[in-house]
Amino acid sequence: MANARENSSATSSSEPRLTVMTELQRLEDTLKDSMHRVEVIEKKLTTKLLTMESRERLEHELELVKEVLQKNEKRLQSLRKENTKTFMIAAAVVFAIFLIYGLYCTITNTS
């Protein structure tokens, strides 16, 4: 559970900035781990052999994991938007370069 909380925090200023794709992959892995943890806790909660203390502790842990899961899903969505914007900018730059090259070839073609 502590690992999920550590992974959910945004990269601190002391860590080097990761690429969007690296952050996306890391966040998707964290989400997968969190989803697995939720499934495990829910299966444990269906057992009738739990004491009240154990059940309450598991329910509390389940709430915490679900909160981390929600935060990570929101972060993943924002990273995907950022990745889409980056792709659009790259595509526009490539288009502009081809356009300038085409104009240059048209202007300098004096055959």
What is the DSSP secondary-structure string of 94-107? HHHHHHHHHHHHHH
Alpha-carbon distance 62 to 88, whole Å? 39
pTM confidence score? 0.65
Length of the chain: 111
Q: What share of the chain is helix, strand, coil (3-state, %, to 5)?
A: 80, 0, 20
pLDDT (tens place) for every residue of the chain, 111 residues total: 444 444 444 444 555 677 888 888 999 999 999 999 999 999 988 888 888 999 899 999 999 999 999 999 999 999 999 999 999 999 999 999 999 999 999 999 865
